[in-house]
Every structure is written in structure tokens, then in C-alpha cells.
Amino acid sequence: MGALQAFLQAAVRTATPLALAALGETIVERAGIINIGLEGTILAGAFGGLVGASESGVGAGYAMAVAVALVFGAVSGWFVIRLRADQIICGTAMNLLALGVTGTLYRDLYGAAGAALRIPTSAPIAVPLLSRIPVLGPAFFEQPPVTYLWYALTPVLWWWLARTHGGLALRAVGERPRSAVVAGIAPSRVRWRALLFGSALGGIAGGTLVLAQAGTFAEGMSAGRGFIAIAIVVLGRWDPRGAALGALFFGAVSAMQFALQSLGLDLPYQLFLALPYLVTLIALARTGGRLSAPAALGEP
Amino acid sequence: MIDRTNARRMAARALEVARAVALNGVVAFALLSLVIAAGGHAVGPAMRALWDGSFGSWYALTSATLVRAVPLILAGLGVALAFRAHVWNIGAEGQLLVGATAAAIVALGAVHLLGAFTLPAALVAGAIAGALWAGIAAVLRQRYGVLEVISTIMLNFLAAYLVGYLVRGPLQEPTHVYPQSSDIAAIAQLPRLFPGSRAHWGLVLAFVAAPIVWWALARTAAGFRVRAVGANPEAAQSAGLIDAARTRTRAFLVSGALAGLAGAVQLTGVTFALYENLSPGYGFTAIAVALLARLDALAVLLTAVLFAGLESGALAMQRDAGIPAVTVSIVEGALILLALAGAAGTRSGVLAMFRRAPAGIEDEA
């Protein structure tokens, strides 16, 4: 396996949870909600994945990850949609809550000594034919099944947003909720669906960390991925295709760090890690956040 | 300037703040007991450890709780000020880190030049660096309409990587073994307040800063503009006397300066060297502090002490009673949600900050 192939494989692996979370957040933000609590949702999903998988395998792990994330989404929704509470304040609280609940439960359920619980991870599945493509094949098409969920969801979500009535209604709610009401759309119902969908994907993203990567849980293991996903949504200009590419970019930059180390190059890799954030900021400034951000983003 | 009526009003206000924070404290302890009991632990010994590690002894109070409270107070004041102007600065963590970095650069690089003036210069440099870091987000907001919620998230990551790079590169200690800077000279350090305690003069700085911010918000023209813009930007703007954009930018800069100062104080008073995990998320906890203090500067002071006590006590609780310190995060999150739920029923007053004006969406459900 060549260095390039290893690099690409690592890039796709790192990008997978980011892409799933970012695709979900794209839908949520297009409905006008900024889910700062995504970080907590991912963490909750990771913990749910551990609990489910340690009971009855990887499938149950993902089911549990989604279930836990949906509970989180429902609590957030109750505050930001039902009570029209401030989304940033609520998200901050949800992140704290997720960190505390998962950290405490992990120690209560599996012991304090950090005797890391190991669970089996889902094996990569090679896609017939596609995985035979030199270099690119194994990197992109010999991955755990969740990676294929990312590939499949990207065009589906793009098509749904751009070409269906449901997608149009969602965008209307995110841009001009009042006009949407006039058009007979119930903004709160659309927002509920979007938030729950985004939370479920955040949960799967968290599940991926445990079930396809680490094989165990650690306190705060989401490690900022929720915030990175929010960055990716912006970089991808609130478009599912952009989110998918943005996630790949963030994944590639992280993978570069290991590639450089394995090549024995002593470059300051923090500068590489900082690159995507810098690019996102510059892209934001160039396009003007207002041009592409949903107009009603963050408004209750 | 402070006549008797004013003094009486201030005393009444202070009492009200103290009562609100005390209520938060009681709820926090009740919630914590509940979580501990739910986890199947004995509540008594845990609470004992919590108390002993936070407020129960002179040493714990001055060396743990109050030392931890200093950055929370300063950064919390910054967050409260920004949020008051409806500037969603969630970048206090990044501003704190660049503040610490600037203080380290001045304290390490200019100590021969500045001598006894190194310390004040380092603190000022920290505040300026924090303001500039916030200024990036402020310019992006004003010039290009980039939401500060998003840009300050990016700037938090950038600040963390900047510190990571500096302590392995230009600022690394001379032996190049550890990813940290050298210790700053004794003359550049904030002096201790009393012998045998880790409490330093930053505590005095924080306890002075809070009433100043409170006074500035409540009693000055600039403070009035901030409150007016925060309450209703369109009204403030159309009243003609307030430039909402400029007011917001200024509030953003001062907010960054306070967070940067928090970092500089932490470096010159506690860590003495720059390294990556210099802040265990003070900038994020500061958001929780500001929110629970309902964005009131005096309440920030007391809430920060409460949170610092909870977190110091939680560490003792983990050590002595085997209860995860992270349990405290549940309490912090739940307190904020309780405040949100409580605010949902209110239409006026400070609580209304938690509930922005309804967008006029009529639900059919």
C-alpha cells in the first residue's frame, strides 16, 4: 500500500463522521436553526453507540446512537422551537449536558479506572469493481458501511433540497418564515423534522467514532467535531455537495499530519491543522456570509 | 456622585444579585446530590469532599476556588458584555489564549528592557491581543456580514493551533524537549496576595473589574447604548442617536480585551509559562457563567466564584469519593436550561434577554 493510498484512506476515514454531521447540520441550518449543540449530539451518539454495541453488536450500536441523539434533538427542539429560546444559549447548555451525562454514565456503567472497554468495530466492506480502481479504489471504496451512507446521502439530500416541494418548504422556512406561513407551511413542523434529522445524523457520526474507528469511548471524545462540522457547513455554502467536499478537505488536512510524520518531515503540523479554519474564514469573507447563509438563521 | 438614594439602590441591587446567585448555588447542590445518588454513590461523603475542596478551608478557598475564579470572572464579564449587545461572541476561549500568548511574548522578550514595567505591559498586551482577535470577527461581521457565532468558532481553533505551533517553534523553551515556553521572570509575575496561598493579585483585578463593568453598563452613555442596541437594535438605530453597528463592534472589542486580560492574568499569575492546555476551557465555562448570571456584571462575579468552587470541589470529589468531576457539567447545563425554561414565561426584565422577540411566526399546530 503506497503512501498516497494510505493518506487518502486516512482522509476518507477522518472525513466520514465530519461529513455525516455536516450533511445533517446543512439541513438544520437551511431550516433556520443553528445547532451549536451538535458537538454534544455527536458525543451522545458515540456513547449510545458504545452502550448498544456492548449489548448486542454494531447494528444495535448505531440504532442506540440514533436513539440517544434523537432524545437530545427533542430536548433542543423543545427549547428552540417550542419555547423559541435562544439557539446559542440552548446549544451551549446541551453541550455541557452531553459532556457531563456521558462522562458520568461511562464511569458509573463501566468503571472508573478507565479500563477501556473494547467493542468490535465494523469491518470495511470493499465495493465490487470500484474498489479495484488503483489507489483511489481502496481509499474510497474499502471503508466501513457508514462511509457509503455519506456518499449516498450527498446527492439525495442535494436533490431533495433543490428539486422537491419538501426541500423548497425547508428553504422557505430558513429564509422567510413569515412568507412560508402565508404559503401554508408550518415552520415549526418543518424545523422539528429538520432538527431531528440533523440530530440523527449527528448521532450516526458519533456512533462512527466508536463503532468504526476507536472501538471504545473516552470522555469528551467528540473533540470539537461538532464545531468543525458547523465550519464545514459554512465552507460548503449550505449545500450538501459542498459539505461533502468540505469534509473531505478537513479530513485530508488532518491526514496530512500523519503522512508528514510518517515521511519523517518535521514540519509544524499545527499550521496544516489550522489551514481549513483559515480557508473557511477567507471563503466566508469573500462570499459574504449573507449571500449564502439562510436569512433567518439563528432567529427564533 | 453616589448620594444616599443611589447607595441604597445599589445595596438593594447587590442583595438581589446575591440572592439570585445563592438560589443558583442551592439548585446546583441539589442537582448534584441527585445525580450522585442516581449513580449509586453515597451523597454524604461526596458532598463532604466537594465542600472541603472548594469553600471548606482557607487553603481550598484561596488556593483553589478563588484562583480558578479569576479567569472565569474576567472572561465571564467579557461574554456578558458582548451578549448584552447581542454580539454572540463564543470565542472567549480563543481570545483568552491569544491574550496569554501576547503576555508571554512581552514577559519573555521585553523583561530586560522594561524591568518592573514588564508585568503591566504584559497585561496590557494580553488585553490588546484579545481585542484584536475579537476584532477579526467584528470586522468580518461589519464588513462582510459573517455571523460571529461561526467566525469565533473558527478563531478558537486557530488560536489553539497558534499556541500549539508557538510552543513547539519560536517560543519553545531552550532545551527543545517540552512543548512549552520558558517560565517568565519573577519580576513579570503577579505577586501572591498572602503567604502560603496561591491567590494572586489577579483576584483583586477581577474583583475591581466587575463593579467597573457593572457601573459602565448601568450608568454611562456607552453602557446605555449597549443596552439599547441589545434590547432592540432597530429602535436604537431609528431613534437616531445610536450607531448600532459601531456600538456592537465596540462591545465586541472590549469583550475580547477582557477575555485576553483573563489569559494574560492566568499566565502571569498561575502558569508562568505558555503551553497548549493552559486553559481547561475557561472561555467556554465563562459563557455558562455569564448566562447564569443573566448577563449582570455583579452576578458574574459571584457566579464565577460559585462555578470555580463547584469545579475545584468536583476535583476533590473525584479524588476522595470516586465521583467523576465531569458530573459538574451536567449541573451547569441543567442550570442554563432551567433558566431558559423559566425565562420562556417572562416577557420583561433581565430574563427577557433569554427570549428574543418572537419572529411573528404563527404556529398552526
ipTM: 0.85
pLDDT at B347 exceeding the cut of 60:
no
Measured CA to CA, the distance from residue A171 to residue B163 in angstroms comes to: 40
Q: Do B165 and A271 touch (CB under 8 A)?
A: yes
Minimal C-alpha gap between B322 and chain A (Å): 8
Measured CA to CA, the distance from residue B93 to residue B158 in angstroms comes to: 11
Q: Which helix (H) or strand (E) holds B202?
A: helix B202-219
pLDDT at B212 exceeding the cut of 60:
yes
Measured CA to CA, the distance from residue B195 to residue B187 in angstroms comes to: 17
- Of all residues in chain B, what percent carry a pLDDT higher than 90? 49
Rg (chain B; Cα; Å): 21
What is residue B198's three-state secondary structure? Answer: coil
pLDDT value at position B345? 55
pLDDT at A139 exceeding the cut of 70:
yes
pLDDT at B356 exceeding the cut of 60:
no
pLDDT value at position B299? 92
Cell numbers standing for residue A65: 446512537
- Provide the number of structural domains found in chain A: 1
Measured CA to CA, the distance from residue B20 to residue B18 in angstroms comes to: 6
Q: Which of B10, B7, B28 is nearest to B309 (CA)?
A: B28
Q: What is the arithmetic mean of pLDDT over B301-314? A: 93
* Domain presence at residue A212: yes
Which of A75, A99, A289 shows the shortest C-beta gap to B329?
A99
- A143, β-bridge pairs: A125
pLDDT value at position B338? 87
A33 Cβ partners below 8 Å, 6+ apart? A80, A81, A87, A191, A194, A195, A297, A298
Query: Taking CB atoms and an 8 Å cutoff, what residues of chain B touch A288?
Result: 144-146
Q: How many CB pairs under 8 A join A and B?
A: 188
Residue type at B139 in one-letter notation: V
Q: Do B326 and A104 touch (CB under 8 A)?
A: yes
Domain span at A282: 3-117+141-292
**Poorest-confidence range of A64-68, A72-76, A132-136, A154-158?**
A132-136
pLDDT value at position A280? 80
Which of A75, A93, A293 shows the shortest C-beta gap to B147?
A293
Q: Which of A99, A26, A71 is nearest to A245 (CA)?
A: A26
Burial of A234 (0-12, 13-18, 19+ CB in 10 A): buried
pLDDT tier at B336, thresholds 50, 70, 90? confident
pLDDT value at position A295? 74
CATH of the domain at A231: 1.10.3470.10
pLDDT value at position B362? 29
Measured CA to CA, the distance from residue A152 to residue A19 in angstroms comes to: 12
Contact predicate A84/A90, CB 8 Å: no
Minimal C-alpha gap between A117 and chain B (Å): 17
Most confident among A51-65, A107-121, B39-53, B68-82 (mean pLDDT) = B68-82
* Domain presence at residue A126: no
Q: What is the arithmetic mean of pLDDT over B286-306? A: 92
* Domain presence at residue A9: yes
Measured CA to CA, the distance from residue B243 to residue B158 in angstroms comes to: 31
Which of A104, A280, A284 shows the shortest C-beta gap to B35?
A104
Chain A, nearest residue to B333 by Cα: A93
pLDDT tier at A130, thresholds 50, 70, 90? confident
Residue-wise pLDDT tens digits, B226-251: 888 888 777 777 766 778 888 999 99
Measured CA to CA, the distance from residue B235 to residue A291 in angstroms comes to: 25
* Domain presence at residue A125: no
pLDDT value at position A112? 58
Residue-wise pLDDT tens digits, A225-266: 998 899 899 888 899 999 999 999 889 888 887 777 777 666
pLDDT value at position A89? 85
B177 Cβ partners below 8 Å, 6+ apart? none
Contact predicate A219/A106, CB 8 Å: yes
Mutate to test the interface with A, among B143, B157, B351 (most CBs of A within 10 A): B157
Residue-wise pLDDT tens digits, B144-202: 888 888 899 889 999 999 999 999 889 999 888 888 999 999 999 999 998 888 999 99
Residue B180 phi/psi, 5-degree rounding, is -155, 165
Q: What is the arithmetic mean of pLDDT over B67-88? A: 95
pLDDT tier at A287, thresholds 50, 70, 90? low
Q: What is the arithmetic mean of pLDDT over B97-113? A: 94
**Poorest-confidence range of A82-96, B222-236, B249-263?**
B222-236
Contact predicate A194/A32, CB 8 Å: no
Residue A30 phi/psi, 5-degree rounding, is -65, -25
Q: Do A234 and B360 touch (CB under 8 A)?
A: no
What is residue B88's three-state secondary structure? Answer: coil
Name the DSSP letter for residue B359.
-
Measured CA to CA, the distance from residue B290 to residue A27 in angstroms comes to: 30
Q: What's the per-residue H, E or C state across chain A?
A: CCHHHHHHHHHHHHHHHHHHHHHHHHHHHHCCCCCCCHHHHHHHHHHHHHHHHHHHHHHHHHHHHHHHHHHHHHHHHHHHHHCCCCHHHHHHHHHHHHHHHHHHHHHHHHCCCCCCCCCCCCCCEECCCHHHCCCHHHHHHEECHHHHHHHHHHHHHHHHHHHCHHHHHHHHHHHCHHHHHHCCCCHHHHHHHHHHHHHHHHHHHHHHHHHHHHCCCCCCCCCCHHHHHHHHHHHCCCCHHHHHHHHHHHHHHHHHHHHHHHCCCCCCHHHHHHHHHHHHHHHHHHHCHHHHCCCCCCCC
pLDDT value at position A288? 59
pLDDT at A131 exceeding the cut of 90:
no
pLDDT value at position A177? 81
* Domain presence at residue A131: no
Q: Do A288 and B144 touch (CB under 8 A)?
A: yes
pTM as predicted: 0.86
pLDDT value at position B290? 93
- Of all residues in chain B, what percent carry a pLDDT higher than 70? 93
Residue-wise pLDDT tens digits, A61-89: 999 999 999 999 999 999 999 888 888 88
pLDDT at B353 exceeding the cut of 90:
no
Mutate to test the interface with B, among A189, A256, A277 (most CBs of B within 10 A): A277
Measured CA to CA, the distance from residue A200 to residue A71 in angstroms comes to: 9
pLDDT value at position A153? 94
- Does A95 reach chain B within 8 Å, measured CB to CB? yes
* Domain presence at residue A133: no
